[in-house]
Amino acid sequence: MRVAFLMAQEGIEQVELTEPWQAVAEAGGEPVLVSLEAGHVQAFDHLDKADTFPVDLTVDEASADEFDALVLPGGVANPDALRTNTEAVALVRSFFDQGKPVAAICHAPWTLVEADVLRGRTLTSWPSLRTDISNAGGTWVDEAVHVCTAGPGALITSRKPDDLPAFSKALLAELAH
């Protein structure tokens, strides 16, 4: 299984990248870092710079056809940058169009709002996104992890880094289907 991890050049909450990445790799999958530009992405531990990670593909090189699922790590700046990039938004939408699983944690559903893929879906996120999700036609719930199967492909969402064990477990369960 090949899983795309889509993120901007900076503002990624590091643990929201590394824990699901490790879970996919340990399950025998191939995690692939997709970003807006070639080079490296800068992760953060909340507001403090953390590690950098090499980009495998840029959004203009990536296609949902090449992957089994999409993971959107959070961080406040990361999804805010992604949602203003038309190629990134189109890539996200294409995973939904193809009915492939999409997993988003914390602030990452902001990109889903922009992709207009939340109508009729139930999901969770960082609490401050509740109104944005509702305005986009989604139903927000306060749960550690929520898997929505309304519509093609599963949408796996979690609220925050403390939910990562449940998030990774739900992601792997969907990939096992």
Residues with catalytic annotation?
A: 106-107
Q: Can you tell me the distance from the alpha carbon of 167 to that of 165, in angstroms, rounded to the nearest whole number?
A: 5
The whole-angstrom separation of Cα 50 and Cα 78 is: 14
Q: What is the distance between the alpha carbons of residues 153 and 163, in angstroms, rounded to a whole number?
A: 21
Q: What is the DSSP letter of 28?
A: T
Distance CA 177, CA 29 (A): 14
Tokens of 108: 């990452």
Do 17 and 83 touch, CB atoms closer than 8 A? no
How far is Cα 92 from Cα 167, in angstroms, rounded to an integer?
19
Q: Which helix (H) or strand (E) holds 54?
A: strand 48-54
